[in-house]
Amino acid sequence: MLNLLLNTKKIRVLSLVFCLNLWFVQALGQKKVDSFGWGDGQKVLFLGNSITYAGQYVAMTESLFLSSHPKGKPEFINSGLPSETVSGLSEPNHADGKFPRPCLFDRLDNVLDKINPEVVFVCYGMNDGIYLPFDSVRFGAYKNGIIRLHKRLVDQGVKRIIWMTPPVHDDPQLRLNGHNNVLDRYAEWLIGFAKKQSWEIIDLHFPMRHYLEARIEKDAQFKLAEDGVHPGELGHWLMAKEIVQHLMPNYPIERTWDDNLHSKPKLRQLYALVFKRQTIMKDSWLTFTGHKRPGLSKGIPVQDASKVYTTIQYEIKTLGF
């Protein structure tokens, strides 16, 4: 009987120790993510296609970061390029035959060497299936591009790589039964592969899909993207929301972007300045690092853009951020 009591007590003690250790590990993990750990001058690079180039979700993310961490001043750099892929593929007669889709690897070395970022966000996939039915060869090209990109970022010495699944595709006629079926496969693979490799990943695709499904059920005419590809402000907010919740899980955010603008003093002014600054720097960096995509605005020299950056930074500081 005594041995039974001792063993029971021992089990309870071990269980308590296990629970405390589990809590401690979870707390450390939470602290690591929630602290966000980026200081003044650190460069945070966003790589992606036209959705990233549009820039709203990047500016929303930076604005909420600044409102939560007013003492931290990392430099968010948007280097999205319209039409771009990591697969190196391009559909026949792309852009009415004017130019093939640009491939990230044609400019990647220049981008990394000239910017030298500490943190890189990556969002590809939308263009990589080149808007054709699922094909294993095209799928393989996408997977190889992702793996190749990860190796290059690691070799560059990037401290933190954050993968993002492609946004949802809202086909004007087929809705979620069109190109989004391909993106479902791409997103599922990226999530699974990232977990196996212990990569950091944020799922944008399936939360956006679930949101769209719920809205269509109530209103069959509802759309996140009029052309199927490029989301409006709401779609960009859905993306930014997932990023912010991943990076700052304890930070209170509202259901919609408008709700955030109304509930957080000065956020509207802050966002306008951040978006303006990112747009100027985006075109400047794209011109400086070089690319093969015609039709984009030529940015001002990086030296001049840096002066504009400093001026806008001062305006942001006067708001209290």
Query: 10 Å Cβ neighbour count for 297?
Result: 11
Nearest CA among 242, 206, 308, 235 for reference residue 64: 242
Where in the chain are the domains?
A: 34-318
Is residue 58 within 8 Å of 78, Cβ to Cβ? yes
| pLDDT tens per residue, range 163-196 | 999 999 999 999 999 999 999 999 999 999 999 9
What is the number of H-type helices and E-type strands within the chain?
11, 5
- Rounded to the nearest 10 degrees, the angle between the axes of helix 136-156 and helix 108-115 is 20
pTM as predicted: 0.88
**Residue 27, pLDDT above cutoff 50:** no
Per-residue pLDDT, 79: 98
**Thinking of the domain 34-318, which architecture would CATH place it in?**
3-Layer(aba) Sandwich (3.40)
Question: In this structure, which amino acid lies at residue 308?
Answer: V
Per-residue pLDDT, 10: 40
Output the six-digit token pair for 252. 């209170």
**Rounded to whole angstroms, how far apart are CA atoms 104 and 92?**
19
Residue 105: pLDDT band (50, 70, 90) is: very high
Q: Is the dihedral of CA 193, 194, 195, 197 positive or negative?
A: positive
Beta bridge partners of 161: 120
Share of the chain above pLDDT 70, in %: 88
**Rounded to whole angstroms, how far apart are CA atoms 168 and 188?**
13
